Amino acid sequence: MCGITGFVNLQNGFDRAEASQTLDRMCRVITHRGPDDQGVLVTDQVALGMRRLSIIDLAGGHQPIFNEDGTVAVIFNGEIYNYREIKRELEARGHRFRTNSDTETIVHAYEEYGFDCVDHFRGMFAFAIWDERARRLFIARDRVGKKPLYYTLTPQRSLIFGSELKALLEHPEVEREIDYAALDAYLTFGYVPDPLCIFRRVRKLPPGHRLIFANGEIKIEQYWDFDYCPIEGRSEEEWIEELRACLEDAVRVRLIADVPLGAFLSGGVDSSTVVGLMARAGVRPVKTFSIGFNEDSYNELKYARLAAKRFETDHHEFIVTPSICQIVDDLAWHFDEPFADSSAIPTYMVSKMARDYVTVVLSGDGGDELFAGYTRYAVDSRRAVFERLPRPLRRGVMQPVSRFLPHGFWGRNYLYNIALDSLDRYIDNVSVFTALAKEKLYSDDLKARLRQAGADATALFRERAAKMCADDSINRLLYLDSKTYLPGDILVKVDRMSMAVSLEARAPLLDHRLIELVGRIPPELKLKDGKLKYIFKRAVEGIVPPEILHRPKQGFGVPIDEWINAQLREQIRDTLMSSRARQRGYISLSYVQTLLEEHENGRRDHSTRLWALFMLEKWARLFVDGEGDRARASFERFAPVASSG
């Protein structure tokens, strides 16, 4: 696990000494992703750098890694779990390996298969290959989006890329002009979905895509996608047997490591399944890590303890209290872009605790998007009945009435939601600030900027939805979440918070072979008679304790609603109502005042909205006002001196 960064200018080139200094800054600012080593390659036109967290081939995995004659170089962030099989195939074809690392497999696979080398890799990855003979940079990101990749093509024709946005910002050609379409998307969904970035000229390479940079031009291609093509005629038991075997294999291949390994254990079905399969695979005892709260409604420790006892793990726990919110500036620094998922707090703390014992953890991420585990899928299924009402009634009567009703009127939001078509209804369901709320929240200036740019946060969702091949409602929603919420929120949260403490997190439930299998399972076996994750739970019967298997769904959240009204009350009010927030001109502070008063008085739970606004202001102070420069200096005190490569 590493962090990669670099830049290429094939037309104008650059001063080698200046390029080396710039690259060193770009590497050092992501030292947390790889504290063990730094490697660089600098020529007159190419600068590649990486920070390494040593996991496999501790002695021989120094990057960049080259092919036999030194004309192809790779820097790599991630893990290739089937690298040994690929290595044997390539050696049989005449390739000569110098190391036992999975990174070198990428170089030779590229030589053998070209851009299609990505089709052969099973794992999580973001890598960059410089091909000296072809004068070409090749970048690829894994199928699901576990590993991040930012890039920009500057007016000076430099392609600049990196695992984190902060690495790009160290390059003098990268500008910090806010992309208001991305800001709109953030306030709508609580995260900035790919390919958008909060800064206008920067983009994120989407999952399952590759980028080729040659002759000063960028070409982006998609090489993989979620495919929902259910197969009929197989029995439920046949699906269960194949699914269980695939789950066991997905966990087994992720146990490869030359360093200590453990697992996150929340007490839910997904993480309990992963830990149970680790124990079955012979990991004894599994080191497990759990987070709890003093607030009973959010505390899952009793279920985590039950699973830990069942699987005889070496179990560790940490209680999160409101005082932990003092780390909010650190969180904003690590996310680079505004990010509103408050479960980042326990994710950071459980990662920090785990890092004291292990270097690699397995997690249960992805199970809800893969097997239909969110309660909103059942809610959407129930509300679909209103689509039978004539559209003129819904659009011409119900929607205008809902808009006319005053803010806070009982049933206003529900009436608006059920009057929408299916896709709009789901977008409304997953929004932090709905279309109704944004009419009040946005300042006139922001509304004008968005109209001028033709920006619409829902356009990205509509674009994703247009690519769905599924003809049933459940698989359509699973596809949409797997292309938006999963890579934009869940995987960003886990990557940034684990990497903040130099911990590698692996997600076996997002193995692409498992995903392809689940895409063939009929949707009625995923959500059956209102039962979420039906086929998944059937497959893990006998592995996961029944008390966990049949418990109600509980999200991995924090009691932020209570904290905002108590320990965080003054901090959030002072931040959101400050003159600095007012001067930004994004939002109506009178509406924010209304949200604060309603939440403080207990009339409405606005915790998600207030936290989103709070994190936006925290981000702006770091990355717009320049406070991040001081934060960077603090983090860099611990960065080792760069090595040359």
Cite the active site residues: 2
User: From CA 343, how far away is CA 607, in angstroms rounded?
Assistant: 13
Is 472 flagged in the annotation as binding? no
Instruction: Say whether 363 counts as a known binding-site residue.
Output: yes
Residues 6+ apart with CB under 8 A from 247: 273, 277, 508, 509, 514, 539, 540
Q: Return the SS3 of 255.
A: helix
Q: Which residues of 505-520 are buried (b: 16+ CB within 10 A; e: fewer)?
A: bbbbbbbbebbebbbe
What is the SS3 assignment for 335? helix
Q: How many residues does the chain have?
A: 645
Q: Say whether 102 counts as a known binding-site residue.
A: yes
| Residue found by looking up tokens 């860099």 in the block | 636
Phi, psi at residue 141, to the nearest 5°? -125, 145
| Sheet of strand 504-506: strand arrangement | 314-320, 287-293, 261-264, 360-362, 504-506
Q: Distance between CA atoms of 356 and 291, rounded to whole angstroms?
A: 15
Residue 623, both tokens: 């990355």
Please report the DSSP string for 498-531 in residue order. HHTTT-EEE-GGG-HHHHHHHTTS-GGGTSBTTB
3-state secondary structure at position 150: strand
Question: Which of 112, 106, 99, 98 shows the shortest CA–CA distance to 124?
Answer: 106
* 291 labelled ligand-binding: yes
Packing angle of the helix pair 269-280, 236-252 (nearest 10 deg): 70
Give Rg (Cα) of the chain. Answer: 24
Binding site for L-glutamine, by residue number, is: 102
Binding site for ATP, by residue number, is: 291, 363-364
